[in-house]
Amino acid sequence: MNKKLLVTLGVIVIILIGAYAFLLHKLTLDEEQLIQKFSEFQVLCNEKKMQGYDVTEAEELARKAKRALDEKDYEAAKEFLYKAFEALEMAKIPGIKPPLTTPKKSYVKVVDGNPKLFIGDREAEITGFLTTSDPYKNPTKYKNVIKYIDYAVKYNFTFACIFFSWWWLDQSEQRELPRDASELINWTKLDNIFDYAASRGVYLVPCFIYNVLPKWWFELTPHSIEYLQTNSDGKTAPMMSFNIPVHQKYADQVITAMVNRYKRHPALLGWYLHHGYTNENNYPGGPGLRHGSIGWYDYSEFAKKRFREWLRKRYNNNVSSLQKAWGDPSVTFENAEVPRPLPKITELDEAIEWINGPGDTRRQWYDWQLFRLEEKKLSMDHFAKLYKTLDPDHILMISAQPPLFTGFQGYIMTMNYYDFVFSPYIDIVLFHPAVTDDLWENPKRKTIPYNFVRYYETRGKAVFIKWEGDQRLTPSNLEPLKGCAEFARRTGTGIALWEGNLTTESGVGIQPEFTEIQIKTVAETYHSMPEGRIKKSSFAIIEHPILGAFDYRAVSGGSTTFQFYKGRDVIMFGILLNSAGLEYDVISTNEILKNPNILEDYKAVALINIYRMNDKLLKALLDFRDSGGGLFIVGRTGLFDEYGNKNMTYLKKLLNVSDVREEKKSLY
């Protein structure tokens, strides 16, 4: 379509909109006529969207009109709809966004059940790009950041997230440890990026990567390797152990300087808290090599000292209690060692026992998992509180994990998704799945984003998914990306695309994860669809997240047939429900222990392989059952106490029976 014809069509649409608005203002309309006018509005709105107009304000007024119509307030509905037509007439093409000249607050507010982003007093889309080019690394990376700001203008996205690491931000040489690490930072590049973004009308979300201190610290600190995350084989990962005082001191100084410098800049949307090894709320490691790390963490000397201090508090400085719990009369708070994982299973009979058992029952292993979880959360809370204390007027976002998949997460300890709901500091959460050819046909793949957005949206946290490219996505196949945009609109959530990099088809060099054609497809699809919302279900799956840290052993010889068996069972149940089109929520046991009344929202709950329990959880479930709630019990649920000791009392009480018998039969 040539430009002249497009302009002509645009003029015709504007004239039509003006006529609709004038007539609507003069008429007295009944419900049926208003519904017809809504349909006409939607047609015109979609036409303007397809031409690239920003119709956000018009859509918001139309939603208000719809609410008034639902409440039978026809005069208010007509008035809001009249204003919606007026706003549609005044809409502008955002290819040239107005510059940002005035600092505005950003916050999240729940509107009609949807947590929404607001900038100033206006609702804003959660749409953006997350760059991977560190502008401080080299000029090419800096230009890439500028390119993605321009993309945000071109495709009418709200923000660009800028990542920059401390390692490249401060390449200075020092002869002694500095008093204030922020004084070593040259902010000029970031200043220029902020000013450029403001001139282009694009908001920014800075993400300061503070995992590793600058090189001067390593050069000036004796035995610095003792402060790096370390696995059970003594191999280190490029990440500081959690909660090192000197690390926090220097990081706090840089974060404080950064926030104070930019919190009044017109282009600031908010802050992205970097947390974890790969910015995914995680430790390094895993059963296979992942981002250069493998195994269990953290066995560093610093972490060992922290663990001993933690044990002293847990056991109230009573060494006899520690010795009794660990079954070791020689252990003390001064010599307690971080436990090693159990070896791989070598015999089939042993594998069958493991599958049906409570996992690793060593008390020292139990204590270490609680310690690891608390250390990670303590670090997150420290930095989240710092950001929000320094700047309460802007949103704070963080990468989170979906529920129902914690059976795989013992190594990297990402199972505390519930903590983001509890946190008073976190406003927006995001997740990073890959786009593949079979994304929306593969039952498991499509269940992951479903669980993620459903869990957080229904608990008041704004959500978006940052989609990553993948070699399993054919470049010419645009349908999966359309599906991503459609999913975001149906669920009332946001969407972002990662810059990233993939190996080129020729195998030589790298390329961005998404081409411009792919980006355009996402933007056009997202902007051409009406917004939906998620509603709570009356049925929920209860998940016991920490169990993923106990059921970890695999059969040796490279087979993973039996690894994470009980966790896979839970996932498969969710996939079956999803494939059947049956909606469900997920509730963590941590939420139930914190607030048992959460169960009152449901008619029935599923307990899938919750093989360890404690008395408080049992009481909450029994109260729910006795008040008319249904319990759907599967697998080894209720056979062991929280430490893994055999105790069928839990299952007996859940079933309200006097006897439970266990028969062992093996079929090969």
Q: Is the pLDDT of residue 5 over 60?
A: no
Question: Who's near 542: CB < 8 A, 6+ residues apart?
Answer: 586, 587, 588, 589, 592, 605, 606, 607, 610
User: What amino acid occupies position 295?
Assistant: G
Q: Which pair of tokens denotes residue 169? A: 């931000």
User: What is the Cα 139 distance to its own chain's centre?
Assistant: 31
Q: Going by DSSP bridges, is the β-strand pair 228-230/236-240 parallel, antiparallel, or unpaired?
A: antiparallel
C-alpha neighbours within 13 Å on the C-beta side of residue 13: 25
pLDDT in tens, 507-548: 676 778 898 999 999 999 999 999 999 999 999 999 999 999
Q: pTM of this prediction?
A: 0.85
Separation CA 609–CA 638 (nearest Å): 8
Position 597: which residue type?
A: N
Task: Say if residue 267's pLDDT is above 80.
Answer: yes
- How many Cβ atoms sit within 10 Å of the Cβ of residue 649? 14
| Lowest mean pLDDT segment, chosen from 11-15, 22-26, 125-129, 637-641 | 11-15
What token pair was written down for 379?
A: 């670090």
pLDDT at 641 over 60: yes
Q: What is the pLDDT of residues 371-421, one digit of tens each?
A: 999 999 999 999 999 999 999 999 999 999 999 988 788 899 999 999 999
- Residue 506 pLDDT class (50, 70, 90 cuts): low
Give every CB contact of residue 90 below 8 A, 6+ residues apart in sequence.
none
pLDDT score of 15 more than 50: no
> For the ranges 129-143, 458-472, 564-578, which has the lowest average pLDDT?
564-578
- In the numeric block, which tokens belong to residue 481? 């990306």
Span 209-222, mean pLDDT? 95
Burial letters 374-407, b for 16+ CB under 10 A, else e = bbbbebbeebbebbbebbeebbbbbbbbbbbbbb
Query: For 161-176, how does the pLDDT look when each residue is reduced to its tens digit (9 = 90+)?
Result: 999 999 999 999 999 9
Q: Of the given ranges (303-317, 346-360, 591-605, 612-626), which has the lowest mean pLDDT?
A: 346-360
Q: Give the separation between CA 142 and CA 162, rounded to whole angstroms.
A: 10
Cis peptide before 121 (omega within 30 of 0): no
pLDDT band, very low/low/confident/very high, at 7 (cuts 50, 70, 90): very low
Calculate Rg over the CA atoms of the chain.
Answer: 27
Q: What is the full DSSP assignment across 13-82?
A: HHHHHHHHHHHHHH----HHHHHHHHHHHHHHHHHHHHTT---HHHHHHHHHHHHHHHTT-HHHHHHHHH
Domains, the chain, with CATH or none: 3-93 (no CATH), 123-231+238-294+376-527 (3.20.20.80), 539-655 (3.40.50.880)
- As a whole number, mean pLDDT of residues 129-151 equals 96
Alpha helices in 171-300 (DSSP H): 188-200, 215-220, 245-262
CA distance linking residue 127 with residue 152, whole number of Å: 9
Which of 60, 28, 23, 20 has the alpha carbon at shortest distance from 44? 20
Residues 6+ apart with CB under 8 A from 589: 542, 543, 544, 545, 610, 617
pLDDT exceeds 70 at position 152: yes
State the Cα–Cα distance between residues 556 and 287, nearest whole angstrom.
12
DSSP state of 555: B
Phi/psi-derived region of residue 393, left when phi > 0, alpha when psi is between -120 and 50, beta in every other case: alpha
